C-alpha cells in the first residue's frame, strides 16, 4: 500500500465519519507498510501532469475559439494552434524546470549555511531551535528536551533547523523530469481541440461541424482533467470537473467573442 492510498483511505473515512475505517487506516501495520512503499515511480510528478494538461487544453482551445470566431478557416487554426501548443508547452516546461532547479539550489545553499552554523555556533543554534519550539507552544522544559533530541546527530539537527526554523522541505523531484512531465502533458492535452482539424487533413469533414466537435471534445477533456485534479487536491471530482469546464468555457467564450469582434472590424 502506498502512502497516498493510505491517506486517501483516511480522508474517505473522515468524510464518512467511519471510525472503524479510520482506525484501520491508522493502524501501525498500515502506517509502516505505507511508509515503506512511499514514493511510487512518477507519483511526485502527478501535479505537473494534471496542471500542465489543464493549461495546455485551455490555452489551445482559446486559440481555436478565437480563430473560429473570426472565421479564418482550418489552415489558420492549425498554424496558430500548433505554434501556440509547442511554444507555450516549451515555455511552461522551461519554467517548471527552472523553478524546481532554483528551489533545490536555494535549499542546498541554506542547508550549507545551517550546517556551518551548527558546526561553528552550536549554542546559538540550540537557542534558536529552543525559541522556535517555545513559539509553537511547548513549555520551556519540553522545548529543551526537543532540542536535546534533535541536536544529538548533526544531520538530523540541520534538517530540524531547515524545517522548524526556516519552514523548508527538500524537493526530491528531478527538475528535468519535472519540465518534461509538464511539456508532455501540455502537448498531449493541448492537442485535443486540434484533433478534428488534424483529422480533416485526411478525411472530408464539413467545415461547419469542425468547431462544434472540437467544442465537445475539449469540454470532455476539460471535465476529465478537472476531475483528475482530485488526485492532487483530494476534493470532489464532479465539482472539480465542472469548475474546470466553466473556467475553460469562459476562456474559450472570451476568445471567440474577441475573434468575432475583430472579424467585424476588419470587414
- 58-67 confidence digits (pLDDT tens): 889 888 888 8
Residue 57 pLDDT grade (very low, low, confident, very high; cuts 50, 70, 90): confident
- 119-178, pLDDT tens digit by residue? 888 888 888 889 889 888 889 889 889 989 888 888 988 998 888 888 888 888 888 988
Between the two ends of the chain, the Cα-to-Cα distance in Å is 63
Name the average pLDDT for the chain. Answer: 81
Q: How confident is the model at residue 186 (pLDDT cuts 50, 70, 90)?
A: very high
Q: Tens digits of per-residue pLDDT, 19-55?
A: 676 666 566 665 556 554 444 444 567 777 888 888 8
Residues 146-153: contacts with CB within 8 Å, 24+ apart?
151/122, 151/125, 151/126
Cell of 197: 482539424
Q: Tell me, what's the pLDDT at 1?
A: 44
Q: Which pLDDT band, with edges at 50, 70 and 90, does 238 fall under?
A: confident
Q: Write down the pLDDT at residue 180.
A: 92
Distance CA 224, CA 160 (A): 40
Q: What pLDDT is recorded for position 40? A: 47
Torsion of CA 112, 115, 119, 125, to 10 degrees: 130
Task: For the chain, list the strands marked E by DSSP.
Answer: none
Question: How many CB atoms within 10 Å of residue 32?
Answer: 10
pLDDT for 16 equals 63
Q: What is the C-alpha to C-alpha distance for residues 231 and 45, in angstroms, rounded to an integer? A: 11
pLDDT of residue 11: 60
**Confidence (pLDDT) at 43:** 56
pLDDT score of 39: 46
Confidence at 18, pLDDT banded by 50, 70, 90: low
Enter the pTM of the model.
0.73
When pLDDT is cut at 50, 70 and 90, the band that residue 222 belongs to is: confident
- The rounded distance, in Å, linking the Cα atoms of 106 and 30 is 35
CA distance 192 to 187: 9
Q: How far apart are CA 226 and CA 194, in angstroms?
A: 19
Amino acid at each position: 500500500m502506498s502512502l497516498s492510498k493510505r491517506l486517501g483511505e483516511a480522508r474517505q473515512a473522515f468524510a464518512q465519519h467511519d471510525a472503524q475505517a479510520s482506525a484501520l487506516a491508522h493502524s501501525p501495520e498500515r502506517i509502516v507498510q505505507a511508509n515503506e512503499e512511499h514514493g511510487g515511480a512518477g507519483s511526485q510528478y502527478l501535479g505537473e501532469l494534471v496542471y500542465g494538461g489543464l493549461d495546455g487544453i485551455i490555452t489551445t482551445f482559446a486559440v481555436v475559439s478565437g480563430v473560429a470566431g473570426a472565421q479564418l478557416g482550418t489552415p489558420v487554426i492549425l498554424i496558430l494552434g500548433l505554434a501556440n501548443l509547442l511554444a507555450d508547452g516549451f515555455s511552461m516546461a522551461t519554467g517548471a524546470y527552472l523553478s524546481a532547479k532554483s528551489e533545490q539550489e536555494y535549499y542546498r545553499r541554506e542547508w550549507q549555511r545551517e550546517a556551518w552554523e551548527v558546526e561553528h555556533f552550536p549554542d546559538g543554534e540550540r537557542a534558536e531551535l529552543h525559541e522556535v519550539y517555545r513559539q509553537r507552544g511547548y513549555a520551556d522544559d519540553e522545548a529543551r528536551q526537543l532540542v536535546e533530541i534533535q541536536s544529538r546527530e548533526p544531520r538530523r539537527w540541520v534538517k530540524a533547523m531547515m524545517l522548524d526554523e526556516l519552514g523548508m522541505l527538500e524537493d526530491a523531484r528531478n527538475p528535468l523530469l519535472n519540465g518534461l512531465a509538464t511539456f508532455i502533458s501540455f502537448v498531449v492535452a493541448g492537442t485535443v481541440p486540434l484533433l478534428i482539424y488534424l483529422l480533416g487533413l485526411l478525411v472530408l469533414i464539413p467545415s461547419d461541424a469542425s468547431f462544434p466537435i472540437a467544442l465537445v471534445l475539449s469540454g470532455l477533456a476539460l471535465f476529465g482533467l478537472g476531475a483528475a485534479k482530485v488526485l492532487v487536491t483530494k476534493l470532489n471530482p464532479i465539482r472539480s470537473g465542472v469548475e474546470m469546464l466553466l473556467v475553460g468555457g469562459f476562456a474559450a467564450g472570451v476568445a471567440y467573442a474577441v475573434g468575432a469582434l475583430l472579424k467585424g472590424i476588419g470587414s
